[in-house]
Structure 1
Amino acid sequence: MSDTLESLPDRPLRQQEVTALNHADAFSLVVPVDREDAVEADTREPVVITERVILGTDDWVTGLVYDDGWLEVESVAIDDPDEERFDAMRDCEAAVADYDLE
């Protein structure tokens, strides 16, 4: 999992990056928990970003929050993705939503 954290940019993810991660072979799913409008610092172009995301594979689901760097706030191991993934996602989503960014 630490390799995953190190591979993420040191900033909130743009919507296009979440989409690209969803198409990557490394993950079965990537779900933004929240989205907000922002502007690119360099170009002042509008973008949609997320500071809270759920990552999943066939073996685990993890909730991440960007708070001066990406933090793993919950991780749930799963043996049967078809049976356990939904509950693991719900647990991670709750932990991510409860994390206070202030």
Structure 2
Amino acid sequence: MSDALDSLPARPLRQREVTALNHADAFTLVVPVDREEAVEAETREPVVVTERLILGTDDWVKGLVYDGGWVVVESVAVDDPDEERFEAMRDCEAAVADYEA
């Protein structure tokens, strides 16, 4: 994985972390494919997490699934983000949806 992907925590992302990634310079888009309610282990507080993401930069879009660690299930190079990003996102979303642990 790239350095930016290596910085993801070794667990599903909390909703606030997805939001923070959307504001980070490393990615131009971060889209959770699914969300589920969970309980924070330390505090027992309810949280919303995602184990399936679409990440994008101006150069690529990747579909990731958390399966004991973040796994890139699809990666699409993008030459023209304005023209190609949407289709790349659809391809990655389909790969994420089809992934079975």
1:85 corresponds to: 85
User: 4+ runs of 1 displaced by more than 2 Å?
Assistant: none
2:65 corresponds to: 65
1:74 corresponds to: 74
Which amino acid in 1 is paired with 2:44? R
In 2, the alpha carbon distance for the partners of 1:23 and 1:2 equals 18
Deviation of the 1:86 alpha carbon: 0.2
Which amino acid in 2 is paired with 1:20? A
1:29-48 equivalences in 2 (<5 Å): 29-48=29-48
Determine whether 1:25 maps to 2:30. no
TM-score, normalization by structure 2: 0.97
Tell me, which stretches of 5 or more residues in structure 1 are unaligned?
none
Instruction: Show CA shifts across 1:19-78 (max 9, x none).
Output: 000000111000000000000001000000000000000110000000000000000001
In 2, the alpha carbon distance for the partners of 1:35 and 1:27 equals 20
Question: Residue 4 of structure 2 contacts residue 26 of structure 2 at CA under 8 Å; is this kept in 1?
Answer: no
Tell me, which stretches of 5 or more residues in structure 2 are unaligned?
none
SS at match of 1:8: coil
Over the aligned positions, Cα root-mean-square deviation in angstroms equals 0.8
TM-score, normalization by structure 1: 0.96
Determine whether 1:5 maps to 2:22. no
1:53 corresponds to: 53
Matched residues, number: 101
Deviation of the 1:2 alpha carbon: 2.9
In 2, the alpha carbon distance for the partners of 1:63 and 1:82 equals 19
In 2, the alpha carbon distance for the partners of 1:75 and 1:100 equals 17
